């Protein structure tokens, strides 16, 4: 839920959701590093907080704050969930108040079913709010590896799960963009772009849709010119 302080500062919560090992922590690490090193529209505020298990997987969640440089009153609070099956109740808690979701897929073909399971859980936790109230962006991660699924295959899954609208439904404007990404710093691909797109959508939902997907004609006219 977008939170506005008395001094006008706006806080937006963005969540990376996906199966264990899909790359969420690596994505946020890379995002943090590259926004620190380059002059972009987002800049990190402080360090990332991580709560890890001894084997390096996320126990509770990771957390970081990024500030918009164009609109410095906007702060994005980034979280990742622990993907392991047994942490399902915890994911529900971390999801609370989320304004935008990046769904992270481990695109390796043999993990196809595990990703769908993770997507179904997200749908359940979001209770029908995805796209309509919570903008969604998809990252097909690990696209540097061989034998991975592609955007058209994942689009098919989204259709089957009812997370894809066809025109003339105006919600089709807010269909999830599917980015093919690599989170490893040396080969990074579309890590910033996917985050920026999700952040942009959360702001538009807030400003023009009063917390829902903006689809009225007045907005659509404006959007054409954006």
Ligand X SMILES: Nc1nc2c(ncn2[C@@H]2O[C@H](COP(=O)(O)OP(=O)(O)O)[C@@H](O)[C@H]2O)c(=O)[nH]1
| Residue 184 touches ligand X, criterion: CB under 6 A | yes
- The CA-atom distances, in angstroms, between 63 and each of 19, 81, 136, 163, 199 are 17, 9, 19, 27, 16
Q: Which residues contact 72 (CB under 8 A, 6 or more apart)?
A: none
Write out the binding residues for ligand X, residues 120-179 only, by CB under 6 A. Answer: 141-142, 144-145
Residue 58 binds Mg ion (CB under 5 A): yes
Bridge partners of residue 45, in order along the sequence: 65
User: What's the closest the beta carbon of residue 160 comes to ligand X, in angstroms?
Assistant: 23
Choose from Mg ion, ligand X, none: what does 1 bind? Cβ within 5-8 Å by kind: none
CB of 159 to ligand X, least distance (A): 25
Task: Please choose, out of 53-61, 133-141, 156-164, 167-175, the segment that lies near Mg ion by the rule CB under 5 A.
Answer: 53-61
How far apart are the C-alpha atoms of 214 and 199, rounded to whole Å?
A: 15
Name which of Mg ion, ligand X, none residue 100 binds, using a CB cut-off of 5 to 8 Å depending on partner kind: none
**CB of 62 or CB of 205, closer to ligand X:** 62
Q: Which of 13, 25, 74, 137 binds ligand X (CB under 6 A)?
A: 25
Q: Let me know if 50 is exposed, middle or buried by CB neighbors in 10 A (0-12, 13-18, 19+).
A: middle
Instruction: Specify the residue, 130 or 183, whose C-beta has the smaller distance to ligand X.
Output: 183
Find the binding residues for ligand X in span 76-115 (CB under 6 A). Answer: 80, 83
Q: Among 17-25, 128-136, 196-204, 206-214, which window interacts with ligand X (CB under 6 A)? A: 17-25
First-to-last alpha carbon distance for the chain, in angstroms, is 25
Q: Could you say which of 31, 74, 182, 199 contacts ligand X (CB under 6 A)? A: 182
The H-or-E segment that residue 67 falls in is strand 58-68
Among 13, 14, 17, 26, binds ligand X (CB under 6 A): 26
32 forms part of the interface with ligand X (CB under 6 A): no
- Taking the C-alpha atoms of residue 86 and residue 58, their distance in angstroms, rounded to an integer, is 12
Looking at the chain, how many residues does it have?
A: 226
DSSP per residue over 159-189, as a string?
Answer: HHTT----TTSGGGGGPPEEEE-B-SGGG-B
209 binds, among ligand X, Mg ion, none (CB under 5 to 8 A by kind): none
What is the spatial distance between Cα 34 and Cα 22, in angstroms, rounded to a whole number?
20
Q: Evaluate whether 15 touches 81 at the Cβ level (below 8 Å).
A: yes
Residues at the interface with ligand X (CB under 6 A) = 18, 20-26, 57-58, 80, 83, 141-142, 144-145, 182-184
Residues at the interface with Mg ion (CB under 5 A) = 24-25, 58
């Amino acid at each position: 839920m977008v939170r506005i302080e008395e001094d006008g500062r706006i806080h937006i919560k963005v969540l990376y959701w996906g199966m264990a090992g899909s790359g969420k922590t690596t994505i946020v690490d890379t995002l943090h590093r590259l926004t620190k090193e380059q002059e972009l529209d987002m800049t990190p505020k402080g360090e990332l907080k991580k709560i890890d298990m001894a084997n390096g997987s996320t126990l509770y969640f990771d957390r970081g704050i990024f500030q918009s440089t164009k609109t410095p009153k906007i702060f994005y609070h980034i979280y990742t969930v622990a993907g392991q099956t047994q942490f399902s109740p915890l994911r529900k808690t971390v999801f609370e108040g989320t304004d935008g979701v990046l769904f992270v897929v481990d695109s390796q073909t043999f993990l196809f079913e595990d990703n769908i399971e993770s997507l179904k859980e997200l749908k359940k936790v979001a209770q029908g709010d995805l796209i309509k109230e919570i903008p969604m962006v998809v990252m097909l991660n690990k696209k540097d590896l061989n034998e991975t699924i592609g955007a058209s295959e994942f689009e098919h899954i989204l259709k089957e799960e009812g997370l894809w609208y066809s025109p003339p439904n105006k919600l089709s404007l807010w269909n999830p963009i599917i980015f093919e990404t690599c989170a490893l710093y040396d080969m990074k691909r579309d890590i910033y772009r996917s985050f920026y797109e999700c952040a942009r959508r959360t702001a538009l939902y807030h400003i023009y849709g009063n917390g829902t997907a903006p689809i009225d004609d007045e907005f659509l006219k404006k959007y054409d010119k954006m």
